Amino acid sequence: TLLLSSLCTACKATEAAVRKAGIAQLYGIAGDTNSTGDEQKKLDVLANELFVNLLKSSYQTCAMVSEENEKMIEVPVAKHGRYIVCFDPLDGSSNIDCLVSIGSIFGIYKRESDGPVSTEDCLLPGNKLVAAGYCVFGTACMMVLSTGNGVNGFTLDPSIGEFILTASNMTIPSKGKIYSTNEGNAQYLDEKLQKYLYDCKFPKAGKPKAARYVGSMVADVHRTICYGGVFMYPANSTAANGKLRLLYECNPMSYIVEQAGGKAVTGRGQERVLDVVPTKLHERCPIFLGSSEDIDVILSYLNE
C-alpha cells in the first residue's frame, strides 16, 4: 500500500508538471539522451526525478529500473524494502510539445534473492510481476492498475487531489474494429504481417478496420483496452526486436491486458510477452496485444 501510494503521488506530481509545462517553460529538449539513445525532454528528466525520489523515500524498494537511467538505480540500504520497480516515467516523449496524450508506466516485482542487490535481481520475466499500472495524462488523468485480481481505473479528481475509482473490473472486448501500428514502417515488415495489414484495409467481406495510432504507448493501449482491437510494435528488418522495451513498457502493459481478458504475444510462435526472460535492463521486445480474437487472427497470419 505504501509503495502504491508513492507511485500515485509520483503520477500526481508528474501530471501537475505536464499541465503547467507551457507556462513553466518545461517544453523542449533537455540536451541529453537516455539509456536507449532517445533525446531527453525536460519533462522526461523531471518525471524521472519525481519517481526515483518518491520511490526511494517509500522504504519499500531495493532497486529500480528506469528508461532514463542506463544502470540499475540502487536504493540506500537504510531505505531498503522488498520490491523492485521498473518504470517509464514519461512515455510518449515525442508528443509532449504538441499536447498529445502521454503517460507513465510501471511494473512491480518482489525481490527473490537476499544479499546485495544486483542487476540480475531485476532481470525477471513479466509472469513474476505482482502489480503493474499506467497513468494516462489526457483529457483527464486516469491511473489503470492491476494487482493480479482484474483491472481497475481511477480518475484524478483535481478538486481534492485524489484518485477516485471510476472504472471497476475493466475488461477488453474479445474482438475490436481498430488496429494500431506505425504503418510508416510497413515496407520493413515481414510479408505475412504486410498481408494482415492489407486485409485490415481491404477485407474480402465486411467493413475494413479503422486505423488509429497516437505514438504514445499509454494512449494507444488505453484505447485498445476500452474499445478493443489490437496494438502492435513488431520486429522488422531495421529493428529485429522492435522498439519497445521489455521491462518497463511491454511487461506492465501485457500484464494489464491479460488481466483485462486480452492477449499479449511476441509474434514468435505462440510466445507470451510475459514469458520472455530478459537478459539486459533495456532489452527490446516485439509486441502484439489486444482483443483475444484479434491476436489469434494475427498469429494465424504469422504462423502460416
pLDDT of residue 187: 93
In three-state secondary structure terms, 151 is coil
Helices marked H in 76-216: 191-201
Tens of pLDDT, residue by residue over 7-48, are 999 999 999 888 876 665 555 555 555 555 566 678 888 899
pLDDT of residue 98: 81
Residues marked active site are found at: 38, 44, 67-68, 88, 90-91, 249
Identify which of 247, 187, 256 has the alpha carbon closest to the alpha carbon of residue 218.
256
pLDDT of residue 21: 65
Q: 0.85 cut: is pTM over it?
A: yes
- The amino acid occupying position 125 is P
Q: Is the dihedral of CA 277, 283, 286, 288 positive or negative?
A: positive
Calpha distance 122→100 (Å, rounded): 32
pLDDT of residue 44: 84
- Walking along the chain (304 residues) 10 residues at a time, the average pLDDT comes out as 94 89 57 57 86 95 94 93 95 80 96 90 96 95 96 96 96 96 93 95 94 94 97 94 96 98 94 96 96 96 90
What are the φ and ψ backbone dihedral angles of 135, each rounded to 5 degrees? -125, 120
Residue 236 contacts residue 188 (beta carbons within 8 Å) = yes
Calpha distance 244→41 (Å, rounded): 18
What the block records as the C-alpha cell of 16 is 501537475
Calpha distance 86→73 (Å, rounded): 10
217-227 and 251-259 helices, crossing angle to 10° = 10
In three-state secondary structure terms, 142 is strand
Tens of pLDDT, residue by residue over 108-150, are 999 988 888 999 999 999 999 999 999 999 989 999 999 999 9
pLDDT of residue 42: 80
